[in-house]
Amino acid sequence: MKKAYIYFENGTFLEALSFGADGTSVGEVVFNTSMSGYQEIITDPSYAGQFITFTMPEIGIVGTNSKDNEREIPHCKGIIVRKYQDFPSNFRSQEKLSDFLCKHQIMGICDIDTRGVTAMLRDQGAMMAIISTEFSEIEELKARLAKSPRIEEINYIQKVSITDEKAHSKGTFCFAKMDFQTPPTHKTVVAIDFGAKDNILNELVQAGLHVILKPHNFDAQEIISLYQDKKIHGVFLSNGPGDPMVLQDEVKQIQKLIAAKIPIFGICLGHQLLSIAHGYPTEKLKFGHHGGNHPVKNLANGKVEITAQNHNYSVTDAILEIADVTHRNLFDNTIEGVRYKNAPIFSVQYHPEASPGPTDSKELFRQFAQML
């Protein structure tokens, strides 16, 4: 392994070993508390522009395989781990994690005190950093980091969204058959791709919906016409990376869908964009929620759901003027779900499709299908 060097914007400098792609990369560092599913996390488009620090100390043991990708091409900047295991032990493994990262030009560094990095991010907040296998001098790294744009200044949606419309027909993965199911569909929805995870689309299909995926720069009037002609029955707004306040063009199109009274379901970034489209800006969390073990209380039935999460921004309590809060985060009491009072619209901040993570909240996909 080559030596690698990481410099954080707060002045922290660490030496490490590289098991991923060579080079120099700048991004925002966050931490993820999931105990498993590193491949699904790495290939989640919502991590575009970010370095993922895994709190799970052992990474690499199950290798990688093509069926566990959330998107074909990963968009994160890299991963930071305590110990990398280069000898996969899993019957589904097709490729070592190191080879997977190198193939996609993603950095991977190990021999880092990830507990220390996590505590630093918890106390000081998510921060920008530069990782390099080329430069080792602190002043050089500091200068390059200072010249690089911050994550909130980059529109990553343009990088992760599809460019042409396409249909999605496969359902969820069936381990008994080692393949994806294709259940019958009854209603049609348009899913707007801001960086949608494949398993979100799989769960929509599994709930009995035919999914037409459209790019982020969609034409709301086209969708409204399809809805009025009863060719589609609702709209889904996907997850995605970055600051939702950057997406003003997309917000204007969503406002047209809202005005047309089209049934809408939003997850993560889609949840945030619905709030903004209603006139209620989001706020950035100190270090975000990233992991597969976040407790969320369902206020409708009083049950606690363990959820998978990946977001840096949150809808504020100001939304209570026009929506009922349906879910609250039990770590910090932030809003995790809302149902709008005078429209067939609901949304959640967390990931009910898991991948990785628990499946406590999969019922939401069936609720959307029933609403349609």
91: burial class by Cβ within 10 Å (0-12, 13-18, 19+)?
Answer: exposed
User: What interhelical angle do 248-259 and 269-277 show, nearest 10?
Assistant: 70
Distance CA 220, CA 233 (A): 14
Catalytic residue among 75, 216, 290, 351: 351
Instruction: Establish whether 353 is a catalytic residue.
Output: yes
User: What interhelical angle do 363-371 and 198-206 show, nearest 10?
Assistant: 60
Whether the CB-CB separation of 157 and 241 falls below 8 Å is answered with: yes
Instruction: Establish whether 110 is a catalytic residue.
Output: no
In b/e form, how buried is each residue of 315-348, taking b as 16+ CB within 10 angstroms?
A: beeebeeebeebbbbeeeebbbbbbbeebebbbb
Beta bridge partners of 234: 189
Distance CA 364, CA 182 (A): 19
Sequence-ordered list of residues with C-beta below 8 angstroms from that of 347, at least 6 positions apart, any chain: 237, 264, 265, 266, 267, 270, 271, 274, 275, 337, 338
Catalytic residue among 75, 268, 278, 305: 268
Instruction: Establish whether 222 is a catalytic residue.
Output: no
Residue 55: Cβ within 10 Å count: 17
Residue 213: Cβ within 10 Å count: 20
Distance CA 322, CA 352 (A): 24
Would the CA dihedral through 191, 193, 196, 202 be positive or negative? positive
Query: What are the catalytic residues?
Result: 268, 351, 353
